[in-house]
Amino acid sequence: MAEQPRDAYRRLVSFGGRPISGTPRQVERRMNELGDAAIAHVIGRLQLRAYQVLTSGTPVDKGTARSGWTPSTGGPTTTPITAPKDEGVARATAAQRFAENQAKAEALARSYRVNLGPAFLSNPVPWIIPLNMGTSSQAPSMFVEQGLGLAVQTVNL
């Protein structure tokens, strides 16, 4: 059975995310009172914070990998993103995609609802996995996992 959003929030709080206030039992009781709207708020804010951390930590050559971080609901973005061969076109395309995805992340933080399905942040750039394994001197190995940990610790609820 898939994990429910309420269970994901409870796991997030116990994982080290900043609780809204009070002891875990108080937070759980308050979350039950607030219901899906509060859970949706937390998920939307966490997705935005993860987007911010990952885009700032992704190595940049032409900007394609950084602009590949795509927020979505219901399912991950899987259509591969490749860089155009012309460097100027690649940079312009990446800048436009980055602006669109940033606007999407901010909009989802404001409007996410549990009935939209799970929130995703995916990067379908083919070389994101090698980058995460440390092939760039601009970022440490496992920068994605480190970035997600930082997002959980610093999300602004």
Q: Which of 34, 59, 143, 53 is nearest to 9 (CA)?
A: 34
**Residues 2-40: b if buried by 16+ CB within 10 A, e if exposed:** eeebbebbbebbeeebebbeeeeeebbeebeeeeeebbb
Q: Each residue of 69-128: pLDDT tens digit? A: 999 999 999 999 999 999 999 999 999 999 999 999 999 999 999 889 899 999 999 999
Where helices occur in 68-142 by DSSP H, the ranges are: 87-111, 128-132
Pull the structure tokens for residue 137.
């001197």
Instruction: Report the distance separating Cα 100 and Cα 75, nearest Å.
Output: 18
pTM for this one? 0.77
Residues 73 and 112 sit within 8 Å (Cβ to Cβ): yes
Residue with tokens 């989802």: 108
Position 42 scores a pLDDT of 87
Least confident piece of the model among 7-16, 25-34, 49-58, 136-145: 7-16
Confidence tier at 41 by pLDDT (50, 70, 90): confident
